[in-house]
């Protein structure tokens, strides 16, 4: 059963899904294509954009989403993930899971007879970067000759951006301190994608190097859910990587600022940037809905 656990799972169809999202957003597809379909939505982590976009997306496509927190499921009392996957597969047409461990999502998909969509893991956030790519295409018109720079902690969002950028023909750089580099295995795969698509990937602790000729400046929180014990150290290490106006001025004049949200103003980004004219964070957040609808259509439409 095909599932979306990583951008790698849709490497041949990334452009198609983004174009599909554009068509769905503009009303060019049929109404209620998922009538009668049901999506189980499992949340091991709290959520705003993922929960609402999938729930509303299913409703607008004619289907229904069922919210299930860990405490709602027998998984919370020790039921094996394999049993949960097998049982839910008898009831629903698809499963979306916002999980802590990536391996849990892999196991869920292994035993599921319906598509499993990752709403986030500690390794990747594929649905987020599909929305990001949609936003970039809407803003610039195409991906040609575009470059993204991710600044800060090389986390799950950074990992997925590294995978999707070369598949769409974009260069990408990462500016991060030592010890905060993106996942090595992801970076290796991303470099293979870059070679195949004649794009460039750089990872550097030098912000000036990473921001050279950049069209998109992207950052995320320094302390993700699960990293609270490292809060003080992370804030100290990442302080030089705050995205402020001085940093934005290094990028191209028409560069945009992106953030997957939630954001902490005054920490990873200054208020003048995130609330300034270069910021597209709310377009980006809205596009979670349209990108999610495209993913749901792609995986659940007969």
Is 93 within any annotated ligand binding site?
no
d(CA 251, CA 209): 10
Q: Is residue 220 annotated as a catalytic residue, yes or no?
A: yes
Q: What is the largest CA-CA distance in the chain?
A: 55
Catalytic entry in 102, 234, 259, 288: 288
Q: Which residues pair with 259 in a beta bridge?
A: 219
- The Cα–Cα gap between 279 and 285 comes to 12
Q: Is the dihedral of CA 279, 285, 290, 291 positive or negative?
A: positive
Catalytic residue flag (residue 8): no
Is residue 90 a known part of a binding site?
A: no
Binding site annotation covers 156?
yes
Cα–Cα distance between 103 and 116 in angstroms, integer?
Answer: 13
Catalytic, 86? Answer no
64 is in an annotated binding site: no
Q: Is 205 in a helix, a strand, or coil?
A: coil
Q: Catalytic residue, from 44, 55, 125, 237: name it.
A: 125
Active site residue 98: yes
292 annotated ligand binder: no
Residues 202, 210 contacting (CB under 8 angstroms): yes
Give the residue carrying structure tokens 């951008």.
Answer: 7
Q: Is 159 annotated as a binding residue?
A: no
Q: Would residue 233 show up in a list of annotated catalytic residues for this protein?
A: no
**Residue 126 labelled as part of a binding site:** yes
User: Residue 125 catalytic?
Assistant: yes
41 labeled binding residue: no
Which of 44, 128, 242, 292 is catalytic? The answer is 128
Among residues 149, 158, 176, 260, the one annotated as catalytic is 260
225 in a labelled binding site? yes
Catalytic residues: 98, 125, 128, 220, 260, 288
Which residues are annotated binding-site positions for L-ornithine? 156, 220, 224-225
Which residues are annotated binding-site positions for carbamoyl phosphate? 47-50, 74, 98, 125-128, 260-261, 288
């Amino acid at each position: 059963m095909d599932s979306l656990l990583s951008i790698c799972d849709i490497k041949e169809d990334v452009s198609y899904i983004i174009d599909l999202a554009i068509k769905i957003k503009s009303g060019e597809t049929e109404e209620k294509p998922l009538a009668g379909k049901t999506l189980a939505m499992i949340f091991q982590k709290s959520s705003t954009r993922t929960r609402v976009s999938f729930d509303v997306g299913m409703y607008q496509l004619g289907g229904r989403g069922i919210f299930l927190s860990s405490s709602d499921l027998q998984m919370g009392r020790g039921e094996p993930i394999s049993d949960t996957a097998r049982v839910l597969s008898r009831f629903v047409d698809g499963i979306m899971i916002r999980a802590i461990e990536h391996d849990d999502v892999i196991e869920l998909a292994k035993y599921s007879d319906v598509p499993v969509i990752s709403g986030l893991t500690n390794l990747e956030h594929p649905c987020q970067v599909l929305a990001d790519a949609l936003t970039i295409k809407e803003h610039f018109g195409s991906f040609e000759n575009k470059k993204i720079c991710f600044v800060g902690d090389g986390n799950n969002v950074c990992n997925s951006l590294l995978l999707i950028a070369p598949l769409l023909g974009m260069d990408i750089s990462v500016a991060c301190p030592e010890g905060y580099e993106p996942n090595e295995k992801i970076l290796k795969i991303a470099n293979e994608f870059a070679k195949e698509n004649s794009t460039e990937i750089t990872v550097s602790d030098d912000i000036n190097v990473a921001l050279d000729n950049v069209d998109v400046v992207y950052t995320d929180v320094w302390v993700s859910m699960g990293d609270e014990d490292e809060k003080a150290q992370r804030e100290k290490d990442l302080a030089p990587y705050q995205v402020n106006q001085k940093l934005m001025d290094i990028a191209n004049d028409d560069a945009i600022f992106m953030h997957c949200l939630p954001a902490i103003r005054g920490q990873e980004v200054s208020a003048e940037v995130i609330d300034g004219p270069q910021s597209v964070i709310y377009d980006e957040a809205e596009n979670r809905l349209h990108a999610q609808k495209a993913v749901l259509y792609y995986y659940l439409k007969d």
